[in-house]
Amino acid sequence: MNATKPGARRAPTPERDPAVLARARAILRQHQAAENVRQQQQGHGNPIVSWMDEANGFRFVAVKQTVYWGRNWFIFPNFLDYFMKKTLDHEWGERERSKGQHPLFRWLQKTQAYSNQKPGEPKVKTIVMMGFIACWLHLAYTLYLIAHHDEIPEPLLKRLRDPVSFMPAYYEAIVGAALAVAGMEISCAETKAGSMPTPEFRAKSKASGKTYEIEAKRKNGWKAPTGDVTNAEFLRELEVYVRNQIYNASKKKLTNPVYWFELSIPTMMAEADWRAVAEKAEAAIRDAENSMTVDGQPIAPAYVVITNHTFLADEDVTGHPCFGFLQTIKIDDYPFGRPLEIEAALEGYDKHRDIFWLMEAWKKASTVPTTFDGSPPELLDSDGKPQRTVKLGDMIEVPDIDGKTVRATVEEISSWGEDKAMLAVGANGRHWLVEMPLTAGEAQAARRYTDAVFGKDNASHGLRDDDPFDLYDWLLQAHANMTQQQVDKFFEKNPTLGHYQGLPLKEARVRVAREYTKWTWVRSQQDKAAKSQQATAPNETVS
């Protein structure tokens, strides 16, 4: 029954009041933009689930199906500290602390001495990240990520509690966290003793349905000096380590293997040094690809990830530098490092997208979120509460064209320069532009997370002009909601592509994005070549 009492006034509804519908759309865009910012911090796995009981001062956090609560969890790392200690077991911690052998307690003691809060200081403050803080914070985050997406295998916890096996197990946890952030279903394979060699993890991609077997090993110390990574002694040790790890992993004869090898070079700080290391490691991989055999047979295809988490080897380092790169063994259609036609390169990129996604996830998992809800940490106040900034669809007070203060709707917004934003606003049928200063936090957040911090659901980072795959990803997103009618119209306008017209809608959208990528990329490369030729042409004079 939808009867209304005589004389009662109907509430405005979207179909009757366009302003209500416009506001609903603006709120949806704000929600989608906030999700964009959250994913930039937390990746594409399960989001942080948390809420406040303001009346009693409790913060609740759900880890999969288990709910934890506590006071004084102002930022996410506060909870991670609690979660790590509870997961590893408080009683174990009390026993192990007195022995003084486990690295974790040394890191925590150094952190307490370094960042101990003094009376009158704000609850949340900015400090310089040190290696010993990064060590326990990343461990806590990896444990949370694995627990929030799957279950932490008891054998892994057992190895983490043992000072002898702790560091190798820590690296396995880092890899497991990357798999979790990539949205893969993970399971620990090395849980039962047996005669068949097994990997550390099995990971099933939700996107492709493909299952990968993951091997993860960490180098425990260097005999050669690491101060100069270009010296012959260091490079020989690096080459031998990479070859030995490939051989040992290949002996397991895994299915769809992904090998992760951590170097833990304690002096690795600069990108130039990492490039020198990566070049030598790649040469070792290529040599193994061409000459290595197992049981008389050439080694099988595999992905190889080489990483270096400097803080794992030097806990007193400033910051938490980490580097990584991906190579392959005997995967001919891998679209990097070899000349390919653009169509073949895009096909290879789609085929190996799981692994590219995994590398992006490793980068995401290497940065611990500060906030519970994904709001930019740059917008937190001293109590850890996010400060709201202006967003698309907001009603704000601004000067109109005549200089009078009026309430207007924010219809468009874009950061501008270093510390300003340009707003397109509207009121009473009039539309105009307004310049708005940004706080330092707002400006930093916009640079880091794009204009999505202002509620723009279509905000994106600038495209790299030297990367066709970046362009392709952007075009895939832009055409993700094409209708069948739009797809048919595209093929009608391009008769040379008529043989693709019978593709299912999902595949047709990919084809449209590919064709636009090829046209745009080829044209951009031609323009770049023409400009380069003009710049290098000899100056001509007319006499």
Distance (Å, rounded) from C-alpha 512 to C-alpha 505? 10
Task: Examine residue 29 and state whether it is found in any structural domain, yes or no.
Answer: no
The tens-digit pLDDT sequence of the chain (543 residues) is 445 455 555 656 656 677 777 778 778 877 787 777 787 777 777 899 999 999 999 999 999 999 999 999 999 999 999 999 999 999 999 999 988 899 999 999 999 988 876 666 676 667 788 999 999 999 999 999 989 988 888 889 999 999 999 999 999 999 998 988 887 888 765 545 555 678 888 899 988 999 999 999 999 999 999 999 999 999 999 999 999 999 999 999 999 999 999 999 999 888 889 999 999 999 999 999 999 999 999 999 999 999 999 999 999 999 878 899 999 999 988 888 777 889 999 999 999 999 998 998 898 888 888 889 888 888 888 777 888 888 888 899 999 888 899 999 998 888 888 888 888 898 888 888 888 899 998 998 888 888 888 888 776 666 676 788 888 988 898 889 999 999 999 999 999 998 998 999 999 999 999 999 999 888 888 888 888 777 766 554 443
- What are the angstrom distances between the C-alpha of 123 and each of 48, 132, 209, 408? 22, 21, 45, 36
Residues 439 and 330 in one domain: no
Percentages helix, strand, coil for the chain (3-state, rounded to 5) are: 45, 15, 35
Task: Examine residue 360 and state whether it is found in any structural domain, yes or no.
Answer: yes
Task: Examine residue 377 and state whether it is found in any structural domain, yes or no.
Answer: no
- For residue 392, the domain's CATH number is 2.30.30
Q: pLDDT per residue over 478-536, tens digit each?
A: 889 999 999 999 999 999 998 998 999 999 999 999 999 999 888 888 888 888 777 76
Residues 473 and 343 in one domain: no
Q: Is the pTM of this model over 0.95?
A: no
How much is the pLDDT for 538? 57
Distance (Å, rounded) from C-alpha 499 to C-alpha 390? 49
Out of 407, 435, 460, a domain closes at 460
- What are the angstrom distances between the C-alpha of 154 and each of 87, 151, 393? 10, 9, 49
Task: Examine residue 378 and state whether it is found in any structural domain, yes or no.
Answer: no
How much is the pLDDT for 70? 95
Residues 304 and 229 in one domain: yes
How much is the pLDDT for 16? 65
Residues 260 and 358 in one domain: yes
Q: pLDDT per residue over 73-110, tens digit each?
A: 999 999 999 999 999 999 999 999 988 899 999 999 99
Residues 273 and 295 in one domain: yes
Q: Residue 55: count other Cβ atoms within 10 Å of its Cβ.
A: 6
Cα–chain-centroid distance for residue 397? 37
Residues 454 and 492 in one domain: no
Distance (Å, rounded) from C-alpha 233 to C-alpha 223? 9
Domain that holds residue 263: 58-191+198-366
Crossing angle, helix 166-181 and helix 131-149, to 10 degrees?
A: 60
Task: Examine residue 341 and state whether it is found in any structural domain, yes or no.
Answer: yes
Task: Examine residue 33 and state whether it is found in any structural domain, yes or no.
Answer: no
Residues 355 and 404 in one domain: no
Helix (H) or strand (E) holding 215, with range, is strand 211-218
User: Beta partners for 216?
Assistant: 260
Task: Examine residue 324 and state whether it is found in any structural domain, yes or no.
Answer: yes
Distance (Å, rounded) from C-alpha 534 to C-alpha 538? 9
Q: Residue 193: count other Cβ atoms within 10 Å of its Cβ.
A: 7
DSSP symbols for 240-264: HHHHHHHHHHHTT--SSEEEEEE--
Structural domain total, the chain: 3
Q: Give residues with Cβ within 8 angstroms of 433, minimum separation 6.
A: 422, 423, 424, 425
How much is the pLDDT for 128? 82
Residues 183 and 306 in one domain: yes
Residues 447 and 473 in one domain: no
Residues 508 and 447 in one domain: no
How much is the pLDDT for 240? 97
Residues 77 and 115 in one domain: yes
Residues 360 and 400 in one domain: no
How much is the pLDDT for 326? 95
Task: Examine residue 334 and state whether it is found in any structural domain, yes or no.
Answer: yes
Distance (Å, rounded) from C-alpha 264 to C-alpha 103? 16
How much is the pLDDT for 260? 97
Helix (H) or strand (E) holding 303, with range, is strand 302-309
Residue pointed to by tokens 């964009």 = 36
How much is the pLDDT for 191? 47
Total residues belonging to the chain: 543
